[in-house]
Amino acid sequence: MQAAGQEKPSPGIIFDTGMNKACDALALALLSGLNAKDARLVAVSVSGSNLRAAAFCEVVGEFYAGAVSGAFGGAPRTLPVGLSMDGKLAADAPLFTAPLARRNAEGKPVYRQTIQKLNDTADPVAVIRNAMTSQEDHNAIVIESGPATTLAHLLALPEAHETIVSKTKLLIMAVGIYPEGEELYVQADPAAARKVFAEWPTPIVVCGSEVGDALLFPATSIEKDFAWTQAHPVVDAYRAYRAMPYDAPTQAMAAALYAARPK
């Protein structure tokens, strides 16, 4: 409980991602580099079943904590990464395999990888629930940029409704196309999406792909604004996702920005 006269902490953001689009990597970078006065990234989970996607999320977290560049002055990030185990492991994608495969002149990985096997990840439902319960009342914000599978499982837990209502003030869904259309993450698990939209007990803000398509992240930023370091996992991911130069839609990134700075 908050002590009398103590300022309420900034919102704690829970990011559940499919990590299948360039904008997912950009959103994770934005959330990892937030000013703590705006918001804090308190949990990351991968809603697809891919071990290397989880490993990439860990690498980005450690990078922004200063484990590679030393630029951010922090200790390596230790938040566990949740990984969905629904069905078989999903196929790898260059978005996250390229940064993980990068080697230095000595042939060693450029980015330290602590996630090597399934036991190095955590149950995503537990990761999200525990992150919620550790926040001040009505101070957690959940961002869903992936299949809604994990959130649907969360809703099925006993007393989940009470936990969500007491701890969470907002769910931001970076899924779908509006007013209509087929979108990757909704189509991956339509039943879960229907359950979350029908049963989630707090306000929901939806950021459809039409928003991301209208707000493109410029390739020139990748080439110029990140030139301060020769090794950046999100830059490596962006370049591997599609032949450069290209301007990436920002659906997940727009949702992350809204979570941190809604005005």
Beta strands 248-249 and 216-217, pairing class: antiparallel
Quick one: average pLDDT of 110-133?
95
Q: What is the pLDDT of residues 242-254, one digit of tens each?
A: 999 999 999 999 9
pLDDT of residue 180: 92
pLDDT of residue 72: 41
Q: What is the pLDDT of residues 189-222, one digit of tens each?
A: 999 999 999 999 999 999 999 999 999 999 999 9
pLDDT of residue 3: 53
pLDDT of residue 128: 97
For residue 129, is pLDDT > 70? Answer: yes
Q: What is the pLDDT of residues 42-92, one digit of tens each?
A: 999 999 889 999 999 999 999 998 744 444 444 445 678 999 887 556 789
pLDDT of residue 5: 56
